[in-house]
Structure 1
Amino acid sequence: MSELTLTQRIQLSVPVVAAGALLLGALAVGAVFGARLGALMVVGGLLGMVLYHAAFGFTAAWRVFITERRGRGLRAQMVMLAIAVLLFFPALGAGSLFGSPVYGYVAPVGVSVVVGAFLFGIGMQLGGGCASGTLFTAGGGNARMLITLLFFIVGSVIGTAHFAWWQSLPAFQPVSLVNEFGAGGGIVVSLLLFTAIAAFTVMMEKRRHGQLEQAPRIDVGNRRWLTGPWPLLFGAVALALLNYATLALAGRPWGITGAFALWGAKGFEALGGDVSQWGYWQSSWNAAALEASIWRDITSVMNIGILIGALLAASLAGKFAPSFRIPAKSVLAAVIGGLMLGYGARLAFGCNIGAYFSGIASGSLHGWVWLVAAFAGNMLGVKLRPVFFAGEAGRLPTTKGG
């Protein structure tokens, strides 16, 4: 047997290092800050693996439907949401899960949500990913997405600086389907909406192509569970179940972008700035997070878990190979897209996870408004893509489903 090359040794060592980092990190966090927080880091790691191996992206799925009228990705999102609603609504209606109190992400509906979600939608297409997509593609070795992530964080901090002004604009009080219709009634209303959206994608796809796109055949063998790829619907089910696990452990659903604002604020203060007087940081919850270690912050710990989990998945698949040869226009798109993603998420009370996935799973009307406004932003973002990715028919090669 020939001796392994240095490159092969590195490729073999990455999954070992990633798995060790996730396990040791979870144990350390659990020992210092509590077992639940340690368990949530593991949940984050599993989310990263599912997102990567199932190529479960929101940005690509929306772009493909807008440009090609292929709706398989959107229908998978409806399956994910349907399972989440079936799991979440009874617990939210009761106010507790497994004996512990729980609450959902229910936010006001106003100008800031509409504008923020619209900006976020444009940023998805220019940045090359959403919140979850940015994390798992960056963790999976996409160097360009590290630029998007950096400016996602910068945009989040800017959004907190302007947050109070945006919240002074007209808005309706938060509306919860669980409170309005009860858990059972809210489930029925939600399932009808999911069915209507799925049926619309079927109609549009058949009108354009005559038949539905067939999902690629994936033989899920013994090693496939480690190396991927996984079926898209498996990803939809797994994400819903892991969000439910987050609800049980954290007492609230999965979120991502709140941590980006926190990381950026701490970085800004480390450089001599002061964000403590900004309106966003006046709430007791945000002020406490700003004063504490990021390792006490649930969202931060889960985000770190997602990055490590995606790194583990990419290395097991033999696809962890970062390339830093990025065209200048692509870098510019990542900067602009990242800023819009971060700024939009703060205005809209969340991203494709906190506002769309977890918002709708919480029964919040603002989650549905976010969906409509963000989709409109994606439509504009798709039209802007050729400016930055000329010669690629408006397509940006992204890692997996980004």
Structure 2
Amino acid sequence: MIITGLIVGLALGFVLQRGRFCVTGAFRDLTLTGNTRWFSALIVLIAVHSIGLFGLNALGVITLEASPFPWLATIIGGLIFGFAMVLAGGCATGTYYRAGEGLVGSWFALIFYALTSAVMKLGPGASVTEGLRSITVESGTLQASTGLSPWVFVAILSAIAVWVAVHHNRKNTTPLATLPPLKKGLAHLLTEKRWNPFATAVVIGIIATIAWPLSAATGRNSGLGITTPSANLTGYLATGDASLVDWGVMLVIGILVGSFIAAKASGEFRIRVPDQGTVVKSIFGGVGMGVGAAIAGGCTVGNAMVSTAQFEYQGWVATFFMIVGAGVAAKFTIKSGARSAAAQPAESRSV
């Protein structure tokens, strides 16, 4: 039943919002300041997901299918997406959960992301996407090209994940100053307490693992995904073709609703209208994310969380070039902001 997609989406949206889990910040921190805390949390997420996926595959619950590596599309799409998500102010999931919080800029980014991904996957841009993705290398995974068991790579990745989690949690032993809690018990934990990024990563990895067999049971042999479901939702709204409404579409609807519920429960929901410049950046960012994700075969979920967990070259290469694109965009926007501030009269900058 595709309704399970809605349930998984509700849980994922809630966790993303409360855990503030957005890959854009992880990539931006990595390239600008060298801070690896959030990127390390992403590694933990991938490791948990990888253990779950290959465990389910070994048990025959799901079937992980190998595919060729569309190297050129992955590089181009990854760069475009990485640059665009900084302009948009969030990756695919970050845009969804921030839209659920009431950020109007994210509404614009989300609308244009979904619209452009539909153009590139279902509309006139589909031929460009298919042409780029037809340029492939046959061996698409580490295990296929090396002949090693995937469990070798699972073990290596898991060891790295444990090391970085322990390393960062030891570095952050000083508790942050917080106000006295207003809630108690589970209510405090779910809607008030600050979530640890590594605990959030583990929970998302578990949700991502559960998602796969639930999705496969409906005939969609895949797990979490944002770009294609967003494109399909847009296609359905434009054409009324009910065949486009699948498990993935229900998932993204659930993410939006789940993040709204989390924001309301934690008192973080507020309609925030940005200035004109931010709106323009959000629109361009949304357009770029739709183009980049369609060409790369996925966003920071499909590539950086799911494809990486299967040790597909597409996932790891796309992630690398997303980091490069995000770093370039972050440095570009910071320099532009500094120039704009310097150009303002002194009295307009004073407070």
Aligned equivalent of 1:103, options 64, 72, 76: 64
| 2: CA distance, partners of 1:310 / 1:146 | 13
* Aligned counterparts of 1:392 and 1:222: Cα–Cα separation in 2: 46
**1:104, 1:359 within 8 Å by CA — same for their partners in 2?**
no
Q: Deviations over 1:70-107 (max 9, x none)?
A: 1111111111111111111232345x22xxx4335855
Matching of residues 289-308 of structure 1 within 5 Å: 291-294=241-244, 296-308=245-257
How many angstroms does 1:379 deviate by?
Answer: 1.0
1:284-312, Cα deviation, whole Å (9 max, x unpaired): xxxxxxx4355x41111011111111011
- Secondary structure of residue in 1 paired with 2:319: helix
**Which of 103, 124, 141 is the equivalent residue of 2:85?**
124
Cα distance change of structure 1 residues 392 and 173 upon mapping to structure 2, 3 Å threshold:
farther
Gap runs ≥5 in structure 2: 217-221, 342-351
Question: Are 1:113 and 2:74 an aligned pair?
Answer: yes
Residue 56 of structure 1: aligned partner: 21
Quick one: distance in 1 between partners of 2:174 and 2:228? Answer: 34
Residue correspondence of structure 1 range 361-376 to structure 2 within 5 A? 361-376=309-324
CA 389–147 in structure 1, closer or farther in 2 if over 3 Å, else same: farther
Aligned to 1:347: 295
Give the alignment partner of residue 153 of structure 2, picking from 186, 194, 199: 186
The answer for the alignment partner of 2:344 in structure 1 is none
Aligned to 1:314: 263
SS at structure 2 position matched to 1:181: coil
**Residue deviations 1:314-340, cap 9 Å, x none?**
00111111122x211101110111001
TM-score using structure 2 length: 0.82
1:356 shift after superposition = 1.2
- Relative distance call for 1:343 and 1:107 in structure 2 (3 A) is farther
Which of 155, 173, 186 is the aligned partner of 1:222?
A: 186
User: How many residue pairs get matched?
Assistant: 322
Question: Percent same amino acid at aligned positions?
Answer: 24
AA aligned to 1:256 is I
From 218, 227, 230, the counterpart of 1:257: 227
Give the aligned residue type for 2:148. Answer: F
> In structure 1, what residue type is equivalent to 2:44?
V
> Is 1:175 aligned to residue 144 of structure 2?
no
CA contact (8 A) 2:4 2:247 kept: no
1:388 to partner: Cα distance: 6.7
1:235 and 2:190 correspond: no
Q: One-letter code of the match for 1:226?
A: L
Q: Structure 2: which amino acid aligns with 1:60? A: G
Counterpart contact for 2:236–2:242, Cα < 8 Å: no
Question: For residues 41-52 of structure 1, what are the structure 2 equivalents within 5 Å?
Answer: 41-52=6-17
Q: TM-score, normalised by structure 1?
A: 0.73
- Could you tell me whether the CA contact under 8 Å between 2:6 and 2:254 is conserved in 1? yes
5+ residue gaps in structure 1? Answer: 1-33, 206-210, 271-290, 394-402
Deviation at 1:193, TM superposition (A): 6.7
Counterpart residue identity of residue 292, structure 1: A
Instruction: State how 1:144-159 maps to structure 2 within 5 Å.
Output: 144-159=105-120
Listed as ranges, the matches of 1:67-106 within 5 Å are: 67-93=32-58, 96-97=60-61, 101-103=62-64, 106=67
State the 1:195 CA deviation.
Answer: 7.6
How far the C-alpha of 1:49 sits from its partner, in A, is: 0.8
Match of 2:286 in 1: 338
One-letter identity of the residue aligned with 2:155: V
Counterpart secondary structure, 2:186 = coil
Aligned equivalent of 1:381? 329
The question of whether the paired residues in 1 share the 8 Å contact of 2:101 and 2:260 is answered with yes
Structure 1 position 50, deviation (Å): 0.6
> Compared with structure 1, are the counterparts of its residues 298 and 106 closer, same or farther at alpha carbon in structure 2 (3 Å cutoff)?
farther
Aligned Cα root-mean-square deviation (Å): 2.8
